[in-house]
């Protein structure tokens, strides 16, 4: 009489499924940050060391997986914006958020592409993310305006556009950019936005939170 094979159980299969999901999320997060939103399902699966079919079984589509990754990234930016609104000083809150937002777009090509709208995933949920983040930036700018620490002629739109100044500034006329240079660029921009410019007080730690 044959003995049933009990080497694997439903629990084992569920554990494997969870591990594969985590590996796909980690691989997609790395590749989207490194190369942007045009990475393929095959590339993500190869990085995760699983089959392409596993990606489609777990997420339905590559776009769905990338949408989850982007949502996580925007959640983190929103969390920093909320912390900035709780800062005791409006200028410190705005400048800290500005530096973090700039660095996020340098470190994560996918988020930079999504925020620039050069590539976008049309989705009502992602549109709501955009609306929430825009609202938080407007609150940060309004608070600094109310305190008189941000130049009156600087709008929230200009703040977010200026946050992208160092995103593509890797090289110019043979000059090579560095991490320190990008932070310095943020400090210079902030000095120009401060009112009055000659009394600019840039925080020592421009990027207090680090991504995992």
Tokens representing 17 are 């499924």
pLDDT in tens, 196-205: 755 445 555 5
The answer to whether 183 and 99 are in contact (CB under 8 A) is: yes
Q: Give the best-scoring range by mean pLDDT among 91-105, 113-127, 168-182.
A: 91-105
CATH 1.10.357.10 positions along the chain are 67-212
The C-alpha atoms of residue 209 and residue 197 are separated, in whole angstroms, by: 26
How distant, in Å, are the alpha carbons of 22, 91, 140, 142, 205 from that of 85? 33, 10, 6, 11, 17
For domain 9-60, the CATH superfamily is: Homeodomain-like (1.10.10.60)
Instruction: Specify the pLDDT at position 13.
Output: 53
What is the length of the chain? 212
CATH 1.10.10.60 positions along the chain are 9-60
Query: Using 50, 70 and 90 to split pLDDT, how confident is the model at 84?
Result: very high
Topology given in CATH for the domain delimited by 67-212: Tetracycline Repressor; domain 2 (1.10.357)
Which range has the worst mean pLDDT, 53-62, 117-126, 133-142, 157-166? Answer: 117-126
| Helices (H), ranges, the chain | 10-35, 41-48, 52-59, 62-85, 90-107, 109-116, 124-147, 156-162, 179-193
**CA-CA-CA-CA torsion for 45, 114, 124, 58, nearest 10 degrees?**
10
The C-alpha atoms of residue 182 and residue 190 are separated, in whole angstroms, by: 12
Tokens representing 75 are 């959640």
- Residue 60: how many other CB atoms lie within 10 Å: 10
Instruction: Write down the pTM of the prediction.
Output: 0.79
């Amino acid at each position: 009489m044959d003995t049933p094979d009990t080497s694997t159980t439903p629990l084992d299969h569920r554990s494997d499924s969870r591990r594969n999901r985590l590996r796909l999320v980690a691989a997609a997060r790395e590749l989207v940050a490194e190369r942007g939103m045009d990475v393929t399902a095959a590339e993500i699966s190869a990085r995760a060391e699983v089959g392409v079919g596993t990606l489609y079984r777990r997420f339905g589509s590559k776009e769905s997986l990338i949408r989850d990754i982007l949502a996580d990234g925007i959640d983190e930016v929103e969390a920093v914006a909320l912390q900035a609104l709780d800062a005791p000083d409006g200028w410190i809150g705005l400048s800290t958020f500005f530096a973090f937002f700039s660095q996020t777009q340098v470190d994560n090509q996918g988020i930079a592409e999504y925020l620039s709208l050069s590539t976008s995933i049309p989705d009502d949920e992602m549109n709501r993310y955009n609306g929430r983040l825009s609202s938080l930036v407007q609150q940060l700018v309004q608070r600094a305006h109310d305190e008189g620490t941000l130049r009156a002629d600087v709008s929230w739109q200009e703040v977010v556009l200026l946050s992208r100044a160092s995103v593509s500034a890797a090289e110019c006329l043979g000059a090579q950019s560095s991490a320190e240079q990008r932070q310095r660029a943020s400090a210079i921009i902030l000095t120009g936005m401060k009112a009055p410019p000659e009394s600019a007080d840039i925080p020592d730690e421009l990027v207090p939170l680090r991504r995992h």
